Amino acid sequence: MRLTESLKPRQWAAVSPWVLAAACALIALIIGVFAVNNYRREKSLMIEVLLERGTSLVRFVNSGARAGFFAGAKEGQAPVWQWADFVQEVVERAAEHPGVLLLTIVDSAGMIVASSSPEAVGSRVNDETHTFAGTIGQETRETGGRPEFRISGRGQSAIFQMASPFVPLEPWQLERHKLQCNNAHMGLLHPRGIRGGQWRRHPSCSPQWIDELQRVNQQKHIVLVELDLTELNRAVRRQLLQIVILSVVLLLVGIGGWLSLLTLQGLKGSQSRLSRIKAFRDILISSLPVGLIVTDGEGRIVVCNPVAEQIALVHEHEVVGSSPEGVLPVALAAAFDDAESRGGTPTTREVSVLNPQGRIQALQLNSLSVLDKEGQVSGRMVLIQDVSQIKSLQEELRRSERMAALGKMAAGVAHELRNPLSSIKGLALVLRSRFQHKGSDQETADILVQEVERLNRSIGELLDYARPQKLIKKKLHPAEMVDKAVSLIRMDAEAVEILITTRVEKNVPVLLADPDKLSQVLLNLFLNAIQSMSQGGRLDIEVAVVGKCVLITVRDNGGGISKEDLPRIFDPYFTTKPEGTGLGLAMSLKIVEEHGGTMTVTSEEGVGATVVVALPCTDELIDG
């Protein structure tokens, strides 16, 4: 359902103004809470960064002053004159760090002892700064706790000011130094590289140095650090911009949520209808009496109903998402590449496939392209119908008609011709016996007898085809049966320069069949192939196993059979050979069918012909 269709005036009118006001108030509250929390968090983080930077500077000044103090003592300089110079040098060096506006050390009276601005040394800080420096309590001095800080000024002139105790020498460090001096004086301690006498004479161990150290350490000096707030101001402006963007986003989210609420009812109705339509479609597809396979625009299978699964020997969950060429039999997959169906014109074709029982199954495939509103191909659909039973009934009907006609004809021929032919043969034999010497008359009588016998054989073949035959079945090895038939026609093949090749799969099952009848079938097929290659060629014979059937394939590259003659090749007395009777293939098909098998012929005129004989086999295997 479209959004414009769902937002109708009656729906807006049904909404209470109080609900709208409550929704707006909720959005405003959410925006305010987010804004305040983000602002506080950002400001707290920046202050922590400034405090950490200021604390690092204080530590640098303390350690630098301590190091300079002892360095001056080692060089023999009097600390009472040099202490302030050491501190001033360290302060100036510390002020070189980026973001430091001013670094100052003041005493308890507010007098500047050292400063990053040398001209301010000896002067007094203003009352506001002195009051702020006085907030450093005794606890902070003794424990080195968190320093005090404040933001002085407003706008672009605001600065970050931090106050921390200046402790050049910790009490425990002073006590350790005095202990080292006493031990050295008593000869108990010899620092590395300094003999006891030298350490006793070290300037830092003189009473004057010890007293100066104690005096400096007892003085209450404060380190004042002033840092630039440009980075903090930039972060605040960035946070304000984020608050504005967040407010707009939340406002849009609120509007989107409200519109979603308005369209929810229509959406639920659409989903319910779509679910019912989908369920009906699934039931309809599953109930179709024909197979249905559908592909999308990318050639992937999206639908495969149960009938198609049974015919193609696949499962829907295995083929959905795959291309037809990879999961379907070749004959079925070819229907999706039909040129006419790609153009939108339905096409119909009939194919033959082997079912799990090893029998040939006739299928009718109707393929059609699925077009979208713009007339573009968005998929292909193939309907599969099993017409094997229909074909079988049609063939059975034709065969029954032929057999009925042949039976009547055979009975008439036997009644009308055999008795007169017997009389003619008897008279011909009497006539021939009257001629003592060979001559034209005796030859004429011999011809008459031969022709009568030929007519009798033809009538016998016709009767054999018309009436049921009794099969004497035995266990046969297909390879041995093929080799025996090939040996009988090999000389005829070599006479016209035909190359015969045979290929037999391993572990071919045993056949239960009549050896004489099957040999007659193979000889008919081999002789037909040889007669079609009067100028030489190639005869390929293959024995393979498919399911529970043994397939014997006879393939030649002779003249082939025309499309007009191919449907009639199994009809009795149909032949394209001047000397043929037209009963060879008809008798062969009859024998194969009496064994429960099938025979199929494919041919292309000028290319050759292929005959496939499928015979049911036993479970007994032949090694090798």
CATH superfamily of 18-234: PAS domain (3.30.450.20)
The interaxial angle of helices 230-287 and 17-74, nearest 10 deg, is 130
Q: Which long-range contacts (CB under 8 A, 24 or more apart) does 454-461 make?
A: 455/417, 455/421, 456/418, 456/421, 458/581, 459/410, 459/413, 459/414, 459/417, 459/418, 461/581, 461/583, 461/587
Q: Which pLDDT score, from 0 to 100, does residue 554 have?
A: 92
Q: Is the pLDDT of residue 363 over 80?
A: yes
CB 616 within 8 Å of CB 358: yes
Q: Is the dihedral of CA 465, 471, 472, 474 positive or negative?
A: positive
Instruction: Express as a percent the part of the chain with pLDDT over 70.
Output: 73
Q: Are 65 and 194 in contact (CB under 8 A)?
A: no
Is the pLDDT reported for residue 230 higher than 60? yes
Q: Give the C-alpha separation, 150 to 143, whole Å.
A: 21
Range of 199-203, 258-262, 339-343, 493-497 with top mean pLDDT: 493-497
Section 346-360 average pLDDT: 73
Confidence of residue 40 (pLDDT cuts 50, 70, 90): confident
Residue 114 parent element (H or E): strand 112-115
Count Cα atoms within 13 angstroms, Cβ side, for 271.
6
Give the chain's mean pLDDT: 76
**Rounded Cα gap, residues 430 and 591, in angstroms:** 40
pLDDT of residue 37: 80
Rounded CA separation 134/139 (Å): 13
Q: Is 225 exposed, middle or buried (0-12, 13-18, 19+ CB in 10 A)?
A: buried
Superfamily of domain 288-386: PAS domain (3.30.450.20)
Burial of 582 (0-12, 13-18, 19+ CB in 10 A): middle
End-to-end CA distance of the chain: 69
Burial class (CB in 10 A: 0-12, 13-18, 19+), 335: buried
Pick one of 1.10.540.10, 3.40.190.10, 3.30.565.10, 3.90.1300.10 as the CATH number of 474-621: 3.30.565.10
Tell me what the mean pLDDT of segment 134-145 comes to.
58
| Residue 173 CB coordination number (10 Å) | 14
Flag whether pLDDT at 13 surpasses 50: no
CB 163 within 8 A of CB 223: yes
Q: 178 or 622: whose pLDDT is higher? A: 178
Q: Do domains 18-234 and 288-386 have the same CATH topology?
A: yes
The span from the CA of 487 to the CA of 103, in Å, is 118
| CA angle (340, 346, 351) in 5-degree steps | 85
Beta strands at 498-504 and 347-354: parallel, antiparallel or unpaired: unpaired
Q: Can you list the positions of beta strands (E) in 125-266?
A: 148-152, 159-166, 221-228
Tell me which of 260-274, 497-511, 552-566 is least confident. Answer: 260-274
% the chain with pLDDT above 90 = 3
Tens of pLDDT, residues 69-90: 666 555 545 444 456 777 888 8
Exposure class string for 227-245: b at 16+ Cβ within 10 A, else e: bebeebeebeeebeeebee
Q: Give the containing element (helix H, strand E) for 549.
A: strand 549-556
DSSP 3-state of 56: helix
Can you tell me the mean pLDDT for 53-62? 84
Contact by Cβ (8 Å): 158, 151: yes
pLDDT of the residue at 494: 87
At 520, phi and psi to the nearest 5?
Answer: -60, -40
Domain coordinates in residue numbering, the chain: 18-234, 288-386, 392-466, 474-621
Among 452, 445, 511, CA closest to 478 = 511
Q: Model's pTM, two decimal places?
A: 0.38
pLDDT tens digit sequence for 157-214: 778 888 888 876 666 666 666 676 666 655 544 444 444 444 445 566 666 666 666 6
| Spatial contact of 225 and 58, defined as CB atoms under 8 Å apart | yes
User: For residue 140, is pLDDT > 60?
Assistant: no
Identify the three-state secondary structure at position 52: helix
Residues in the chain: 624
Indicate whether 319 pLDDT > 60: yes
pLDDT band at 618 (very low <50, low <70, confident <90, very high): confident
> Which tokens go with 339?
């040129």
Of residues 324 and 205, more confidence is placed in 324
In the predicted model, what is the mean pLDDT of residues 1-30?
A: 56
8-state DSSP, 118: G
